Amino acid sequence: EVQLVQSGAEVKKPGESLKISCKGSGYSFTSYWIGWVRQMPGKGLEWMGIIYPGDSDTRYSPSFQGQVTISADKSISTAYLQWSSLKASDTAMYYCVRPQSYGYWNTYWYFDLWGRGTLVTVSS
Amino acid sequence: EIVLTQSPATLSLSPGERATLSCGASQSVSSSYLAWYQQKPGLAPRLLIYDASSRATGIPDRFSGSGSGTDFTLTISRLEPEDFAVYYCQQYGSSPQGTFGQGTRLEIK
């Protein structure tokens, strides 16, 4: 089965670091871009950025550039989203997403595969 | 950066009725690279439409997409009870690819 399996919910304090994960299975992990989408409580969807695990080329939305780091370990088919210093405003659901089409040059990023989401709560 | 504006914010209809949801772009969307998603409470979004008018795998034919340039529409021909949800449009033709609209909530009247 083709799926994205995300790590579990996290509760952190402001200033702490965090790395959440997304493991792809049932498809060639290195042949598809894989990205992250944020959904703050009661709000809409925001595209954060995307990585091509085959060569680690990473693109960020301007809104998230410098705020988070996206990485991938192709040896274990896992993508990551990390923060060095969390803020209360980082409280949100974070979805891992994969575009429908494969290949590095296919940058038509609409997403037919979604993880179930990782809820991150940042509170003192 | 292209900004997508969805209207209305909330649409109240009854099962069996026709729903028309709009997505307007601040600039022309390249090659009609626009998608629509459905999200139900507590679940991840689901891809409905891509390339403005192509239905994703497994999506019923009561869902259809149309439009080009700056104006796009998602139509649900006859609403089923399971169609009441939030709908988002997304453009992926211009950098930064992946920008979403703010959503339309389709609620039961």
Report mean pLDDT in 10-residue bins for chain A, 124 residues: 98 98 97 97 97 95 96 98 98 97 89 98 97
Contacts of A114 in chain B (CB under 8 A): 44-46
Whether pLDDT at B3 is above 90: yes
* pLDDT for the residue B30: 86
Please name the residues in contact with B90: beta carbons below 8 A apart, sequence gap of 6 or more. Answer: A45, A47, A110, B4, B34, B35, B36, B37, B98, B99, B100, B101
Please name the residues in contact with A87: beta carbons below 8 A apart, sequence gap of 6 or more. Answer: A14, A122
The tokens describing A40, both together, are 């703050």
Contacts of A116 in chain B (CB under 8 A): 44
Residue in A closest to B105 by C-alpha = A44
Only one residue has tokens 């085959």, namely A54
Residue in B closest to A64 by C-alpha = B96
The band of B95, judged by pLDDT with boundaries at 50, 70 and 90, is: confident
Residue in B closest to A41 by C-alpha = B42
The answer to whether residue B35 neighbours chain A at the CB level (below 8 Å) is yes
* pLDDT for the residue A106: 87
Nearest to B100 among A35, A44, A60 (CB): A44
The answer to whether residue B87 neighbours chain A at the CB level (below 8 Å) is no
What is the C-alpha end-to-end distance of chain A, expressed in Å? 39
Q: How many residues are present in chain A?
A: 124
* pLDDT for the residue A15: 98
Please name the residues in contact with B70: beta carbons below 8 A apart, sequence gap of 6 or more. Answer: B24, B25, B26, B27, B28, B29
For strand A18-25 and strand A34-39, is the pairing parallel, antiparallel, or unpaired?
unpaired
Q: Tell me if A109 and B47 make a contact (CB, 8 A cut-off).
A: no
Which is nearest to B29 in space by CA: B9, B56, B2?
Answer: B2
Question: pLDDT tens across B25-79, in order?
Answer: 999 998 889 999 999 999 999 999 999 999 999 999 999 999 999 999 999 999 9
* pLDDT for the residue B97: 80
